[in-house]
Amino acid sequence: MSDTHAQTVAFVRETQIPPAPPPTMETGAIKWVRENLFSGWANTLLTLVSIYFIYQLATFVLPWVLNGVWNTSSLSECRDVLQGVTGGCFSVLTDRWNQLLFGFQYPSEFYWRPSLAFVLLFLAAAPVLFFDLPRKLLIFTGLYPFIAYWLIWGGTILAPILALLGFVVGYFVFQRFVKESFAMGFFGAIVAAFLTWWLGGYVVDAVASEDTLLTAVPSRDMGGFMLNMILGTVCVSLSLPFGILLALGRQSDMPIIKWICVVFIEFIRGVPLITLLFVANVVLAYFLPPGTTFDLILRVIIMITMFASAYIAEVIRGGLAALPKGQYEAADSLGLDYPQAMRLIILPQALKISIPGIVNVAVGLFKDTTLVSVISMFDLVGMIRGPILASTDWNGVYWELFSFAALLFFIVCYGISQYSQWLERRLATDHR
Amino acid sequence: MKKTVFYGALAAATIAGGVASAATLDDVKARGTLNCGVTTGLIGFAAPDSNGNWEGFDVAVCRAVAAAVLGDANAVEFIPTTGKTRFTALASGEIDMLARNTTWTFSRDVDLKFEFVGINYYDGQGFIVPRELGVTSAKELDGATVCVQTGTTTELNLADFFRINNISYEPVPIETNAEGQQQYLAGSCDAYTTDASGLAATRAAFENPGDHIILPEIISKEPLGPLVRHGDNEWGDIVRWTLNALIAAEEYGVTSANIDELSQGTDNPEINRLLGSAGTLGEMLGLDAEWAQRALKVGGNYGEIFERNIGENTPIGLARGLNAQWTEGGLLYAPPFR
């Protein structure tokens, strides 16, 4: 058998050919480049054009960043160092670093206070954002607003304690009456909380001593990125519950509640945010009784929160409308009352659908906080446009400052966006 | 009621926003600080330094008034205002005086019910052009594109100027001075127009100031000065005469160097009345005799303040020009202290 072909065929291979490596054109980076970048004459052309543009951009940006000057104290000094070579004067960032972050009026010896509040923010936000964490951490989240307020504003510790007390009293009243009727518990809690604050206000005014553990810092001294963070965090976290209430109110069968919500949402959505801010800043001063002091940051927070709640309400209404009617009927058939049905069945699903929209509003809102610079508050952009660009030292530095502002905002907004994508994947229990 | 709630629970410390009351002087004394409205930042005129201390030409007026009234040049709460919020801040009583390079115009004085107490800087609108454009006069700007801030008197003056000279131009509207600087440098307009002091400051910030020239034409009058509310003439008098004291001191040769010596008494009765060693001028104002002395000790007389903040040795490098004393061909002319 073995020599069957011995005379007819010159050579018979008797072993298997060892596997050869694939042709170099068909493997690894080369294959990827060929398939993705040079797969045809049109794509080749586009690739070359893109490389040219990237090259141009890099030759422009890289020397500017790499040659950057970081340790001069004025623009003219920086230009002397550069001697006409391309390079950024990043020393404006080091020179005015604290001003960019905290504003120019916040006492420098207290910078640790907002910094600590910022660090604690992550601790407080973690259990809300990542629900795998132990639920006991939520206690700290509940206390955080009061701790942060006390850290940033300082003053008597009794004020935040009183504010907390109001919420606690409200909670107990709610627990006491909610069994009889939800509305009774809800409004009873509000009345009780306000009563506590009102009575406590007198006590605190009487008791509070002048020398406090943390020196009080007036609102007018807040500034820089800290102000953006305060406004962004407070307004986003407040506007979410208000938005949910408004969305539910708009769907309510009770005509007065429904119309109040509709009018509020449509009015606020129909007015530019900047108008509301001007109202908060200048017009309110005419309406308030003489001698009234009403914190400017508080006014701005109220206005931005109103604005954001209206938008979030519409986003959530979209989520509610997207739920099949069967879900509502299922809740009814289980014998759940309205709050239970909403809390246990409708809202968890509606909110999940609304996540991209809510995040969209949150990101937009955070960037909108820079609008306060037009009502002479010194947020990050206000600091740049006002004091820093107007100083004799740094007049004429634009790219470095605004790039820095863009970078800070990008980090935060990209973080929010990444979190929301993780959250969507995590909650993906849907019908796909 | 709710107010108290917010007091106790939320609003910690706030700036008193008392509504316009007749006796501003009493309010200021009771409060212990002067609420002075300034810009959110204008190079040379008002800007906080890297330590957060306000300095500048307008700021010096605030400090002088605070020193005269309260005896402490640092007892000033500087309240930054924008072009849009400045008048409401003053009218609502949030600030006691406004020193924010504000042009004195008829309608602001009469219709908005403010009282301009004097002029601390005579400005006017000018043009800056690149040297390579080869233009030496604004009248040669026929067909040019001009960057101009919208919604300001600058815009109207520009239109008037070109109409009067029967030449055409194309406006490029911009929002802020900083934006104007960038647009002009980027070449989106042939010329940039704003107040001459602003042009000088802008030019000083350029990388190559020598490549740009400021044209000689000044096409408008922009008298800038501090202002107060209508209805409290006593307070207006204090601000007016503090400003006049700064100007008069330069005329009489009173400087921060020799003020201690001169306040002992001199041969010149007007200096004596100004510095309080003779006469009762301070008493008439409702202040003590040394009010002007204190105001002058803060930053010296008008000339010294000018030199330190915007004068020829600063990066802004403004010449005195119209802002020289009347004895030296300028317009500064303080009424007699008598």
Which domain CATH number covers B279? 3.40.190.10
Chain B residue nearest residue A150, CA to CA: B12
For residue B334, being part of any structural domain is answered with: no
The backbone torsions φ and ψ at residue A180, rounded to the nearest 5 degrees and listed phi first, read: -80, -50
Nearest chain A Cα distance for residue B26, angstroms? 15
**Chain A CB contacts of B44 below 8 Å:** 392
Across the interface, whether the CB atoms of B14 and A278 are under 8 A apart is answered no
Which residue, B159, B189, B220, sits at the end of a domain?
B220
Nearest chain B Cα distance for residue A402, angstroms? 12
**Chain A CB contacts of B7 below 8 Å:** 201, 205
B231 and B104 in a common domain: yes
B272 and B129 in a common domain: no
For residue B16, being part of any structural domain is answered with: no
Across the interface, whether the CB atoms of B11 and A298 are under 8 A apart is answered yes
Task: Please report, as a single letter, which amino acid is at residue B332.
Answer: L
Residue B16's pLDDT band (cuts 50, 70, 90): very low
Please report the domains of chain A, with CATH numbers, ordered by start residue: 12-44 (no CATH), 97-106+218-427 (1.10.3720.10), 156-213 (no CATH)
Q: How many CB atoms lie within 10 A of CB A61?
A: 12
What does the alpha-carbon distance between residue B152 and residue B158 come to, in Å, rounded to a whole number? 10
B163 and B75 in a common domain: no
Chain A residue nearest residue B11, CA to CA: A295
For residue B208, being part of any structural domain is answered with: yes
CB-defined contacts A:B, below 8 A: 169
Please state at what angle helix A138-153 crosses helix A158-177, rounded to 10 degrees: 150
How many structural domains are present in chain B? Answer: 2
Cβ contact B227:B91 at 8 Å: no
Is residue B99 classed as helix, strand or coil in its secondary structure? strand
Burial of A232-257, coded b for 16+ CB within 10 Å and e otherwise, reads bbbbbebbbebbbebbbbbeeeeeee
Give the pLDDT mean for B161-165: 92
Q: Which of A96, A166, A375 lies closest to B9 in CB terms?
A: A166
Residues 6+ apart with CB under 8 A from B140: none
Q: Which of B6, B44, B50 lies closest to A95 in CB terms?
A: B50
Cβ contact B246:B64 at 8 Å: yes
B300 and B277 in a common domain: yes
pLDDT in tens, chain A (432 residues): 555 555 677 788 888 888 888 887 788 888 888 888 888 899 999 999 999 999 999 998 999 999 888 988 888 888 888 888 888 889 999 988 999 999 888 888 899 999 999 999 999 988 888 888 888 888 899 899 999 999 998 888 888 888 899 999 988 888 888 777 777 888 888 898 889 888 888 888 777 766 677 888 888 888 999 999 999 999 999 999 999 999 999 988 889 999 999 999 999 999 999 998 888 877 776 676 665 667 888 889 989 999 999 999 999 999 999 999 999 999 999 998 888 899 899 999 998 889 889 988 999 999 999 999 888 788 999 898 888 887 878 888 888 999 999 999 999 999 998 998 888 888 876 655
Residues 6+ apart with CB under 8 A from A119: none
Nearest chain A Cα distance for residue B318, angstroms? 13
B190 and B235 in a common domain: no
Task: Please report, as a single letter, which amino acid is at residue A349.
Answer: Q
Which residue, B193, B220, B247, sits at the end of a domain?
B220
For residue B3, being part of any structural domain is answered with: no
Across the interface, whether the CB atoms of A386 and B40 are under 8 A apart is answered yes
Chain A residue nearest residue B50, CA to CA: A96
**Chain B CB contacts of A234 below 8 Å:** none
B235 and B103 in a common domain: yes
For residue B70, being part of any structural domain is answered with: yes
Across the interface, whether the CB atoms of A217 and B13 are under 8 A apart is answered yes
DSSP type of residue B334:
P
B128 and B67 in a common domain: no
Across the interface, whether the CB atoms of B9 and A163 are under 8 A apart is answered yes
B114 and B130 in a common domain: no
Tell me the sheet residues that pair with B171: B146
For residue B71, being part of any structural domain is answered with: yes
In tens, the pLDDT along B53-64 reads: 899 999 999 999
What integer pLDDT is reported at residue A93 of this predicted model? 92
Nearest chain A Cα distance for residue B128, angstroms? 16
Cβ contact B212:B129 at 8 Å: yes
Is residue A277 classed as helix, strand or coil in its secondary structure? helix
**B272 is in which domain, residue-wise?**
24-120+225-328
Which residue, B162, B188, B220, sits at the end of a domain?
B220
Residue B312's pLDDT band (cuts 50, 70, 90): confident
In tens, the pLDDT along A14-35 reads: 888 888 888 877 888 888 888 8
Chain B residue nearest residue A79, CA to CA: B207
pTM: 0.80
What integer pLDDT is reported at residue A338 of this predicted model? 86
B188 and B167 in a common domain: yes
Chain B residue nearest residue A374, CA to CA: B82
B229 and B96 in a common domain: yes
